[in-house]
Amino acid sequence: MAQLVLVRHGQSEANLAGVFTGWLDVPLTPQGEAEAREAGQRLHNFHFDAAYCSTLVRSRRTMELILSELHEDNIPVYAADALRERMYGALQGLNKAETIARYGLEQVTRWRRGYEDAPPEGETLHHTLDRVVAYYNEVLAPALRAGQSLLVVSHGNTLRALRMQLEGLTVAQVEALEIPTGGIRVYELTRELAIGSMTDL
């Protein structure tokens, strides 16, 4: 069976500061670097044929640290815009608490968690799902059908969208889904890409 391992990047400076990040390119905090190394340690029994990440530095750095822990620095690595975080538009860089005070918790929750609710000038989670699933179908699925083991390091909303597709989650389930920084989800997949098992590490 093929393996697909999804990892959310470690804590970023924007996560720590409590601001909307989206496509802002912010580095990991020291805690985020530690979370990335710990993720690598939890994956010590895994061998990957290739690794994929977004083009944002918090994703790329997390992947680098994981592969360093695994001593797999020489496997093929691919960075793709399609794996970027959801675009938060006009909210990017704004403090979350101040945004709630201005617009109200209900509105901000819809922008943050809603499947069809777009922040001003930003993407819906549905839009994010469309680009992530297209990348999965075009790039990841052929490698998985060939029996490869793949590492994907990406972002909270990107991985929520991909998990919705892979696991057949409902809108309500994906809106409630939380993925912690450094969180790991492991899938064992058949050649037909059916899920044989899935585990959180």
Please tell me which residue in 64, 72, 85, 175 is annotated as part of the active site: 85
- Strand order of the β-sheet with 77-80 is 77-80, 50-54, 149-154, 2-8, 184-189, 195-200
Give dist(CA 96, CA 105) in Å, integer: 10
Question: How many angstroms from the chain centroid is the CA of residue 144?
Answer: 18
Active site residue 69: no
Strand partners, 50: 150
Closest CA to 91 of 121, 54, 114, 58: 121
Active site residue 155: no
CA distances from residue 102 to 11, 39, 107, 199 in whole angstroms, order as listed: 26, 37, 10, 39
Q: Which residues are catalytic?
A: 9, 85
